[in-house]
Amino acid sequence: MISEERRLYLKRRKKDKIIIIFLRVFLIVFLIFIWELLSRLNIIDSFMLSSPSKILNTIIDLYKTNNLFIHIYTTLKEILISFIFGNIIGFIISSILYLNKKTYLILEPYLTILNSLPKIALGPLIIMICGANIKSIIILALLISSIISILNITTAFYNTDENKIKVLKSMNASKFDILLYVVIPSNYLIIINEAKVNISMCFVGVIMGEFLVSKQGIGYLINYGCQIFNMNLVLTGIMLLIILTIVLYIMINLINKLIKKESN
């Protein structure tokens, strides 16, 4: 049996939640409506800024010519490959740098500089070495995502509770045992969080790579649209990116919930 006060509180909470969801949906519908209206009334230049109906038509055209899913699939595939490799590389290199402190001390300033460097500047160099293909896109995404994860995970590894490490040392544990039994499990949440951040980093890297070299993908669609001055295509590409971002955001949230459930 719940008290009247609690019943009112729960009711108010539910009401607030419904209002927020409604306003969120309303805001986007309203903006789309205004955009369409301004475009039809020629208040804004529909050639430069397109309109929701034109974007919808472009999406339908892309679908009819069997191009829509090819572009989405290409971008998603590149994100997934760079995400998986980025995490594996980040984790393995961080572990090596933990096991060998001297190597870490030697490399740390270079990693920091490489991390601050705008990776897009390396794009032409990567294309020269790897060719104008998917490899260059993935390497660019890997550079963007893995260097920051290496730095963050290695720092977290070195900040592991000294007391726990001392306990293991007193049990004759090797450095590898310490890594395996204390350092990795203690930093499990940080590793997963880095993976979460990596999804967005890979997204940025892949789109940048597609701008530079690709013949397929959403980044290519935007770049191609710009080259032929088809702003409908450009804005369609941006809309598809927004939809993909929403999907990735939902995925990240699901992962977050799973982690919270796990750590409870």
Contact residues toward other proteins (CB under 8 A) are: 161, 163-164, 166-173, 177, 181-182, 185-186, 188
**Count of residues for the chain?**
264
CB of 176 to other proteins, least distance (A): 10
Distance CA 88, CA 191 (A): 11
DSSP string computed for 144-208? HHHHHHHHHHHHHHHTS-HHHHHHHHTTT--HHHHIIIIIHHHTHHHHHHHHHHHHHHHHHHHHH
Distance from first CA to last CA of the chain, Å, rounded?
A: 28
What is the four-CA torsion angle of 74, 77, 81, 83, rounded to 10 degrees? 110
Shortest distance in whole angstroms from residue 101 CB to other proteins:
17
C-beta of 73 vs 188, nearer to other proteins = 188
Q: How far is the CB of 87 from other proteins (least distance, A)?
A: 20
- Of 38 and 168, which has the nearer Cβ to other proteins? 168
Q: Which is nearer to other proteins, 186 or 230 (CB)?
A: 186
**CB of residue 165 vs other proteins: minimum separation in angstroms?**
9
CB of 65 or CB of 163, closer to other proteins: 163
Nearer to other proteins, 108 or 177 (CB): 177
- Distances from the Cα of 251 to the Cαs of 141, 244, 245, 248, in angstroms? 19, 10, 10, 5
Residue 58: CB atoms within 10 A of its CB come to 23
- Output the smallest distance, CB 99 to other proteins, in A: 16
